Amino acid sequence: MARMKFLCDADRCIECNACVTACKNEHEVPWGINRRRVITLNDGKPGERSVSMACMHCTEAPCAAVCPTSCFLPTEDGIVLHSKDLCIGCGYCFYACPFGAPQYPRVGNFGTRGKMDKCTYCAGGAGPEPTGSMEEYVKYGSNRLAEGKLPLCAEMCSTKSLLAGDGEMIARIYKERVVTRGYGSGAWGWKTAYREDVSA
């Protein structure tokens, strides 16, 4: 059984934001919601580095732990899905998430945030909507995984900085890279998300 993960090879990320754009386009994500984003550390200074970040689909996900309505559903593939029917928009998952992945359609006062939205690993939602249906698409975006495709952000990454797929496989690809080129800054977020490190 595959354990799906994301791996951002930060030495390759050129901050083109194509992953962000592809994600927004693929899922018709509304304004103000960014399931994936590229963050530049030390911008404009020596030591600058960009990292593409989205939901990491953590092992024993903190969002699922703190949710007061238990709306999260970790799948057999290790993907953390959630149900917008059960979400009450309390915002707790955002406080617990180490990566700032949960997004809310409204920045409403009095805590009215709307239903939480986050990266689904292009695998739809945990609600009752049939896989690949229009209802599922409207709520969670396209279900590429059901079509045998990987998340679009990683698929179309121009420098292949962002990798998606089975954890062991993408870790092997990354290790080969590190050996070949002689350096690597590690898999960002892996220690926090999966409690493991990728070093060559």
Partner 1 sequence: MLFRSMNARAALAALAMTLGLGLAAPAHAQHGQDPKPAVQTTNPSARNPTADSVTEDALLRQLQGGSHIGGRISIPDYKASILEQPQGRDYRQFREGYLPWIGGIAVLGMILALAAFFFTKGRIRLEHSEESGRKILRFNAFERFTHWLTAMCFIVLAISGLNYIFGKRLLLPLIGADAFSAWAQYAKFAHNYLSWPFMIGLVVMILVWIRDNIPDRTDINWIKQGGGLVGKGGHPPARRFNAGQKMVYWSVALGGLALAASGLVMLFPFSAADINGMQLAQYVHATVGVLLIAVMIAHIYIGSLGMEGAYDAMGSGEVDLAWAKTHHSLWVEEQQAKTASGPQIGRGGKSPAPAE
Q: Which residues contact 139 (CB under 8 A, 6 or more apart)?
A: 84, 125, 127, 129
Would you state the structure tokens that stand for residue 85, as one six-digit string?
């029917």
Residue (123 or 178) nearer to partner 1, CB: 178
Tokens of 167: 């954890």
Tokens encoding 27: 């899922």
Q: Which is nearer to partner 1, 84 or 144 (CB)?
A: 84
Taking CB under 8 A as the binding criterion, the range among 109-117, 137-145, 149-157, 160-168 that sits at the site for partner 1 is 109-117
User: What is the distance between the alpha carbons of residues 9 and 17, in angstroms, rounded to a whole number?
Assistant: 14
Taking CB under 8 A as the rule, does residue 110 contact partner 1? Answer: yes
Alpha helices in 72-195 (DSSP H): 92-96, 134-140, 152-155, 167-181, 190-194
| Interface of this chain with partner 1, residues 55 to 94, rule: CB under 8 A | 62, 65-71, 85-92, 94
What is the rounded CA–CA span in Å between residue 118 and residue 35? 5
Residue 43 as a binder of partner 1 (CB under 8 A): the answer is yes
**32 lies in the site for partner 1, by CB under 8 A:** yes
Note whether 159 binds partner 1 by CB under 8 A.
no
User: Binding of partner 1 at residue 153 (CB under 8 A)?
Assistant: no
Structure tokens at 135: 């209802």
Q: According to the binding rule CB under 8 A, does residue 105 interact with partner 1?
A: no
> Of 182, 143, 156, which is closest to residue 22 (Cα–Cα)?
156
109 lies in the binding site for partner 1 (CB under 8 A)? yes
Q: How far is the CB of 112 from partner 1 (least distance, A)?
A: 7
Three-state DSSP class for residue 166: strand
Per CB under 8 A, 188 contacts partner 1: yes
- By CB under 8 A, name the binding residues for partner 1: 10-11, 17, 32, 34, 37-43, 46-49, 51, 53, 62, 65-71, 85-92, 94-100, 107, 109-113, 178-183, 185-186, 188-189, 191-192, 200
